[in-house]
Amino acid sequence: MPSEFRKYWRATNNRMQGASAALNYVLIQNHLAAIIWAPDAGAGDMLAKIESAAHDFSGFMGAVTDPLFVAADRVTGWVWVPLGTRSAPRRDYIELREFLHDRHSELVVAVGGITSGPEGFRQSHARAQRARALAIAAGKNAPVAIAYDEPGVSTVAMLTEDPAATRTWVQSVLRGLAADNENAARLRETVQVYLANNLSNVAAAKVLDLHYNSVKYRVKRAAEERGEDFTRDRLSVELALLVCQWLGPAVLTPDQAKGGHVGGL
């Protein structure tokens, strides 16, 4: 944390007015914190672009005044979007990804979700940090914007804290279905949709644009790869599939045909 910012960070509860004045940012309101960074380690000093992106992001999400921007290092910036009494951002995260892809495709944004007051000021930033940890662990699987309050993100973010244990758990739950190849990936996607649609082949087929018999066949093949069906420990399977969706090869069993190896998250 930048040293000149630390004292205000710690003072927000007891000296709110002074901290607000020093930061030029009102703490008693709703906040949307985000971390913006350049994933390319050789990008050099990106702060000017990051600060520009922070202002664009703030306006796009519905800021009522100028955002607070803090430079964390040469390739990372912290931003708080002042939302006043607004309880939801003006745009959703799908729209945000499209906006960032068009305007700032060389950057990645982790969003902490909307919180309120001085404690929320810290809390939203902490959540953005966790979302960022997941984005870094996901590597190429991560979208241009990742939000802590999107379904599954907060859960998978916690599991990145112990990469080896997460990898071992995923592989023990999915077994052969955790193979890092295209066939297993197709089966995992089918099972994930099948479970999300309450084990309905027909409903899953509509989502996947397949014939329901194709879904039925893939689910059967997936169960064979796993060594059992998906009814006994459905919650564990759904969570393991969600982790695979985000973290990909980092938690999958290397495909020997590709000469793969297990790496860190």
User: Cβ of 261: how many Cβ atoms within 10 Å?
Assistant: 7
CA 29/CA 82 separation, integer angstroms: 7
Query: Which of helix, strand or coil describes residue 34?
Result: strand
Q: Which of 100, 93, 99 is nearest to 39 (CA)?
A: 100
Q: What is the pLDDT of residue 59?
A: 97
Q: What is the pLDDT of residue 261?
A: 44
Give 58's contacts (C-beta < 8 A, 6+ positions apart).
Answer: 66, 67, 79, 81, 82
CA 148/CA 151 separation, integer angstroms: 8
Q: What is the pLDDT of residue 20?
A: 76
pTM score of the predicted model: 0.84
Give percent of the chain above pLDDT 90.
81
CA 119/CA 110 separation, integer angstroms: 19
Give percent of the chain above pLDDT 70.
88
Q: Residue 24 pLDDT more than 80? A: yes
Contact criterion met (CB below 8 Å) for 191 and 183: no
- Average pLDDT over every residue of 207-215: 96
If pLDDT is split at 50, 70 and 90, which confidence band does 64 have? Answer: very high
Give the tens place of pLDDT for each residue, 90-123.
999 999 999 999 999 999 999 999 999 999 999 9
Say which amino acid occupies 21.
A
CA 171/CA 164 separation, integer angstroms: 11
If pLDDT is split at 50, 70 and 90, which confidence band does 21 have? Answer: confident
CA 14/CA 219 separation, integer angstroms: 57
Q: What is the pLDDT of residue 260?
A: 47
Residue indicated by tokens 């071992």:
168
- Average pLDDT over every residue of 229-257: 92
- Average pLDDT over every residue of 43-72: 93
Contact criterion met (CB below 8 Å) for 62 and 90: yes
Q: What is the pLDDT of residue 215?
A: 97
Vertex 71, ends 38 and 102: CA angle to 5°? 40
* Residue 42: burial class (beta carbons within 10 Å; 0-12, 13-18, 19+): exposed
Alpha helices of the chain — where are they, by DSSP H?
Answer: 3-11, 16-23, 47-61, 93-103, 117-138, 153-159, 163-174, 182-196, 201-208, 212-226, 234-247
CA 179/CA 84 separation, integer angstroms: 48
Q: Which of 236, 231, 222 is nearest to 178 (CA)?
A: 222
Q: What is the pLDDT of residue 19?
A: 72
Contact criterion met (CB below 8 Å) for 54 and 79: yes
